[in-house]
C-alpha cells in the first residue's frame, strides 16, 4: 500500500502557548501552515518544524528587534532648554531629515508642556541647522582630535560624486584610541574638490589636517583604491603626501585588488557566455513576479516545499558579488535548467531560449563548479579585510597564503617555487585536480579528450592570470610588511623570536636599539590579554613597573603604529553609503557643510558607543547655543538651502 503522509492542521492552542504566542499566527490561506510574524514566512504546522524554526538564526535575529531589552531608557532626562534642544538636534542629525524639526519641536511643546522648559522650546529648521553646523559638529571635531592626540594614524582616501554631481574626496582615519584601548576606524571629512588632480586632493587633505590640528608627521600610511591619481609613481596623491612624510606607506585596497583581479581573469580566460548566463539569470527574475512564482513552484516541487534563494545581481561596486551569484546558480542548476526549459516553450522570448541552451550545456556548469571554490576563498579573504575585528597583523599573511594556495591547481607538488617572486609559467600543467566537484562532474560527463583538454587549459589559464593580477597589485614592500605578523600576540610571547633588525631598518625606525631590547624580554612578563592582539598591545602600552615607568613603551608604540595601517578602503566606502542616505534625491540641495556636520555627529556618537537619547553634550557647547554666533551671516547659504528642502 502507498505510504500515507500525515498532515497536521493549525491548532488554536498554539496562540496561547508561551513558546509560540509571541510570533505565531494562523495562515488564512493554508490551514496546514503557520505564519511567523517576525520572519514574515510560512512554516509547516508540525510541532517539530515550529520549534526548529524558532531556533534558526533568521528567527533569532528577527525576534531580537522585539526584545524588551531594546526599549530605549533615558539615563538622564534633559531639563534645561539648551539640553532639550541639543537632544532634539542630535536626534535629527542621527535619524532623520532636518525639515522634520519644525513638527517635532511643536509636538514636544504640546505634549510635554508640564515641564516649564519644554514650553520654551523654539526650534525650527534654521536654528537646528545652525546648532548642528556650529555647535555639535565642532564638539565632535574636538572630541576626535583629543582622542587621536599624539598617536600615529593612517588615512583612507577615495573619490566620489554625490547626487548633486559635486566631486568629493572621502577621508576616513585609522588610529589607536587610548580611551577605548582599540584601533578605531572612523569618518574624518568629506572634502569638495573642483578638479580631481593629485595636487588638489593632496592640498585638500593637508588643509583638513591643519584645520583639525592633527599632526601630519604622525601619518603612517594611506589606503586608496588602484586609481592612478592616487597611486601613480610620478605624480599622485601618494607622492605629494610623501613630500611631507618621507616614511609614508602606500597600501592599495586589497578588496579593490581582488575584485579587479577576478574580473580581469574571468574576462580574459573564461568563455563569454558565462558572464551572460550569470547576469541574465538575475535580470530574468528581477522585473517579473510571475516568473518568480513559476520558478518557486518548480523549486518547491523538487525540494519538498523549501523556498529558493534569490539569484543576486553582479555589481561592480559590490566587491566580489559574483561569488554569491555563482554559488546560488550552481546550487540550483537542475531547477533553473527545468525552469528555462519550460519558459522557452511557454514564452515567446528569445532570452529564454538562449538561457535554456546555456543551462542545457553541462560544460557551463563545469566552469562554474571550477570557479565556485576559488571565489568562495577570495570572498572569505575579502570579508577578513573588510571586518573591523580582524587581526591586522595576520591580514597580509592571509592574502599571501591565499595566493600561494592557487599553486596546487596548476603546478605539480614536486616543484618547490615561490609563485610570488619567480616566473612559473613554464611549470604549469593542465592535468591536475581542479577541485572535487569539478572532477566528479567532468568524469560523469565523459567528454571527448580534446574538449576536456580545452576546458582544463582555460581553467589553468584563469588561475595563472589571477595569480599574476594579484601579484601585480600587492604592496610594493609586501615582503617587508609581511613581517608584521611577528607582532601578533601568539608570536611576540614566544621565547624563540625571529630577527627583526632588517625589518626595522627598512621602515626607517629611529630607536631600533630600544625596541630590540624590549622585544627580547617581553615574553618574561605575565600578561592578561593573550588572545586579542590589539588588547594585548593596549595592555603593554598602559603597563607600569614599580617605578611607575613603562619599560616597553617604544615597542608598544611601534607595534600600534603597524596596527594602524589601512589594509582596506571598506570604512570610506561605508562613509559614501551614509552620504547617499543623508544627501538623497529628495534632499539633493543639502549643503556640503551640513552634510559633513551630520556625518561627524553620526560617527561621533557611534565612536563613543552612544545614541541621541543617552549622550550628554558638554556644558561648554551648551553655552554656545545661547550665544548669537551661530546666526552669523557666514551661514546664510546653509539656511537658504535648508529652507528649500522638501518637508519630508
Say whether pLDDT at 269 is over 60.
Answer: yes
pLDDT for the residue 78: 64
Which of the four pLDDT bands, split at 50, 70 and 90, describes residue 213? very high
14 vs 5, more confident: 14
Q: How many other β-carbons are positioned within 10 Å of the β-carbon of residue 553? A: 15
Task: State the burial class of residue 11 (Cβ atoms within 10 Å of its Cβ: 0-12, 13-18, 19+).
Answer: middle
Find the mean pLDDT for residues 151-165.
89
- DSSP assignment string, 455-511: HHHHHHHHHHHHHHHHHHTS-TTHHHHGGGGGGSHHHHT-SS----HHHHHHTT-S-
Statement: residue 75 has pLDDT above 60: no
pLDDT score at 177: 92
* pLDDT (tens digit per residue) in 17-53: 888 888 888 887 778 888 888 888 888 888 888 888 9
Residue 40: predicted pLDDT: 84
303 vs 32, 299, 306, 332, 335, CA distance in Å?
18, 6, 6, 10, 9
Task: Round to whole Å and give the CA distance between 316 and 256.
Answer: 10
Contacts of 482 (CB under 8 A, 6+ apart): 396, 397, 400
Q: What is the pLDDT of residue 77?
A: 59
Domain boundaries of the chain, sorted by first residue: 12-70, 134-220+583-643, 260-472, 486-563
- CA atoms of 131 and 135, how far apart (whole Å): 5
Q: What is the pLDDT of residue 186?
A: 94
Q: For the chain, what is the mean pLDDT?
A: 86
For residue 111, the model assigns a pLDDT of 59
Q: What is the pLDDT of residues 577-587, one digit of tens each?
A: 999 999 988 88
Residue 6: band (very low, low, confident or very high) from pLDDT cuts 50, 70, 90 = low
Taking each helix axis from N to C end, the angle separating 272-286 and 321-331, rounded to the nearest 10 degrees, works out to 80
Q: Is the pLDDT of residue 281 over 80?
A: yes
- Can you give the pLDDT at residue 477? 67
What is the pLDDT, as a whole number, of residue 116? 55
What percentage of the chain has pLDDT greater than the value 90? 42
H/E segment holding residue 204: helix 198-211
Question: Do the Cβ atoms of 258 and 470 come closer than 8 Å?
Answer: yes
Give the model's pLDDT for residue 120. Answer: 67
* Residue 92 pLDDT > 60: yes
Confidence of residue 79 (pLDDT cuts 50, 70, 90): low
pLDDT tops 60 at residue 349: yes
Q: 556-567, pLDDT tens digit by residue?
A: 999 999 999 888
Query: Is 224 within 8 Å of 158 (Cβ atoms)?
Result: yes
- The region, left, alpha or beta by phi > 0 then psi within -120 to 50, assigned to residue 79 is alpha
Percentage of the chain beyond pLDDT 70 is 92
Query: What pLDDT is attached to residue 645?
Result: 42
Grid cell for residue 57:
538564526
Residue 334 clears pLDDT 90, i.e. is over it? yes
Whether residue 118 is predicted with pLDDT greater than 60 in this model: the reply is no
162 pLDDT tier (thresholds 50, 70, 90): confident
pLDDT band for position 115 (cuts 50, 70, 90): low
Model confidence pLDDT, tens digit, residues 531-551 = 889 999 999 999 998 888 999
Overall average pLDDT of the 332-356 stretch: 91
Q: Any bridge partners for residue 171, and if so which? A: 157, 189
3-state secondary structure 8-73: CCCCHHHHCCCCCCCCEEECCCCCCEEEECCCCEEEECCHHHHHHHHCCHHHHHHHHCCCHHHCCC
Task: State the pLDDT confidence band at 104, using cuts at 50, 70 and 90.
Answer: confident
Q: What is the mean pLDDT of residues 97-103?
A: 89
Q: What is the mean pLDDT of residues 434-449?
A: 92
Average pLDDT estimate for 404-425: 87
Alpha-carbon distance of 570 to 378, in angstroms, equals 16
Does the pLDDT of residue 317 top 70, yes or no?
A: no
pLDDT at 615 over 80: yes
Task: Report the alpha-carbon distance of residue 612 to residue 585 in Å, rounded.
Answer: 25
Q: Of the given ranges (179-193, 284-298, 623-637), which has the lowest mean pLDDT? A: 623-637
- Model pTM above 0.95: no
**pLDDT tops 80 at residue 233:** yes
Do residues 460 and 428 touch, judged by C-beta distance below 8 A?
yes
The pLDDT, as a whole number, for residue 647 is 39
Work out the average pLDDT over 482-502.
87
Amino acid at each position: 500500500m502507498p505510504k500515507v503522509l500525515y498532515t497536521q492542521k493549525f491548532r488554536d492552542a498554539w496562540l496561547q502557548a508561551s513558546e509560540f504566542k509571541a510570533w505565531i499566527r494562523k495562515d488564512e490561506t493554508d490551514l496546514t501552515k503557520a505564519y511567523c510574524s517576525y520572519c514574515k514566512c510560512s512554516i509547516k504546522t508540525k510541532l517539530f518544524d515550529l520549534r526548529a524554526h524558532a531556533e534558526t538564526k533568521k528567527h533569532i535575529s528577527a525576534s531580537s528587534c522585539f526584545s524588551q531589552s531594546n526599549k530605549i531608557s533615558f539615563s538622564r532626562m534633559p531639563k534645561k532648554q539648551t539640553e532639550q534642544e541639543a537632544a532634539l538636534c542630535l536626534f535629527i542629525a542621527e535619524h532623520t531629515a532636518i525639515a522634520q524639526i519644525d513638527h517635532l519641536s511643536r509636538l514636544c511643546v504640546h505634549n510635554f508642556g508640564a515641564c516649564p522648559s519644554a514650553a520654551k522650546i523654539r526650534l525650527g529648521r534654521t536654528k537646528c541647522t545652525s546648532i548642528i553646523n556650529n555647535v555639535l559638529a565642532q564638539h565632535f571635531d574636538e572630541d576626535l582630535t583629543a582622542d587621536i592626540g599624539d598617536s600615529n594614524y593612517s588615512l583612507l582616501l577615495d573619490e566620489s560624486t554625490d547626487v548633486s554631481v559635486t566631486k568629493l574626496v572621502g577621508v576616513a582615519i585609522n588610529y589607536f584610541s587610548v580611551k577605548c584601548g582599540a584601533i578605531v576606524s572612523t569618518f574624518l571629512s568629506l572634502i569638495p574638490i573642483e578638479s580631481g588632480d593629485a595636487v588638489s586632493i593632496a592640498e585638500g587633505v593637508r588643509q583638513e589636517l591643519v584645520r583639525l590640528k592633527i599632526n601630519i608627521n604622525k601619518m603612517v600610511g594611506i589606503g586608496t583604491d588602484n586609481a592612478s591619481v592616487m597611486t601613480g609613481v610620478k605624480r599622485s596623491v601618494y607622492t605629494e603626501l610623501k613630500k611631507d612624510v618621507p616614511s609614508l606607506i602606500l597600501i592599495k585596497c586589497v578588496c579593490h585588488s581582488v575584485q579587479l583581479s577576478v574580473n580581469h581573469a574571468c574576462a580574459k580566460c573564461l568563455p563569454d557566455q558565462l558572464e551572460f548566463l550569470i547576469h541574465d539569470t538575475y535580470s530574468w527574475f528581477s522585473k517579473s513576479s510571475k516568473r518568480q512564482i513559476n520558478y518557486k513552484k518548480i523549486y518547491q516541487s523538487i525540494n519538498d516545499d523549501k523556498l529558493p534563494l534569490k539569484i543576486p545581481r553582479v555589481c561592480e561596486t559590490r566587491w566580489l558579488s559574483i561569488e554569491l551569484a555563482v554559488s546560488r546558480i550552481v546550487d540550483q542548476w537542475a531547477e533553473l535548467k527545468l525552469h528555462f526549459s519550460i519558459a522557452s516553450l511557454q514564452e515567446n522570448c528569445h532570452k529564454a531560449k538562449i538561457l535554456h541552451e546555456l543551462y542545457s550545456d553541462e560544460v557551463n556548469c563545469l566552469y562554474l563548479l571550477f570557479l565556485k571554490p576559488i571565489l568562495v576563498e577570495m570572498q572569505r579573504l575579502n570579508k577578513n579585510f573588510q571586518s573591523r575585528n580582524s587581526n591586522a597583523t595576520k591580514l597580509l599573511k592571509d592574502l599571501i597564503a591565499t595566493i600561494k594556495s592557487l599553486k596546487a591547481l596548476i603546478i605539480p607538488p614536486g616543484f618547490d617555487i615561490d609563485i610570488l617572486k619567480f616566473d612559473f609559467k613554464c611549470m604549469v600543467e593542465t592535468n591536475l585536480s581542479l577541485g572535487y566537484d569539478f572532477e566528479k562532474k567532468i568524469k560523469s560527463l565523459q567528454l571527448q579528450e580534446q574538449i576536456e583538454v580545452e576546458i582544463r587549459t582555460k581553467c589553468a589559464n584563469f588561475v595563472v592570470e589571477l595569480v599574476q593580477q594579484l601579484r601585480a597589485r600587492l604592496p610594493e614592500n609586501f615582503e617587508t610588511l609581511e613581517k608584521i605578523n611577528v607582532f601578533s600576540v601568539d608570536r611576540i610571547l614566544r621565547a624563540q623570536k625571529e630577527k627583526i633588525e632588517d625589518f626595522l631598518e627598512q621602515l626607517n625606525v629611529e630607536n631600533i636599539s630600544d625596541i630590540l631590547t624590549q622585544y627580547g624580554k617581553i615574553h618574561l612578563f605575565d600578561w592578561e590579554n593573550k588572545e586579542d592582539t590589539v588588547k594585548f598591545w593596549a595592555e603593554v602600552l598602559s603597563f607600569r613597573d614599580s617605578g611607575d615607568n613603562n619599560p616597553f613603551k617604544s615597542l608598544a608604540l611601534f607595534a600600534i603604529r603597524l596596527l594602524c595601517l589601512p589594509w582596506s578602503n571598506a570604512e570610506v566606502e561605508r562613509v559614501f553609503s551614509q552620504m547617499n542616505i543623508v544627501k538623497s534625491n529628495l534632499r539633493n540641495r543639502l549643503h556640503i557643510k551640513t552634510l559633513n556636520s551630520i556625518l561627524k555627529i553620526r560617527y561621533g556618537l557611534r565612536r563613543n558607543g552612544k545614541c541621541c537619547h543617552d549622550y550628554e553634550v558638554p556644558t561648554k557647547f551648551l553655552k554656545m547655543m545661547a550665544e548669537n554666533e551661530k546666526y552669523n551671516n557666514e551661514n546664510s547659504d546653509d539656511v537658504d538651502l535648508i529652507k528649500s528642502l522638501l518637508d519630508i
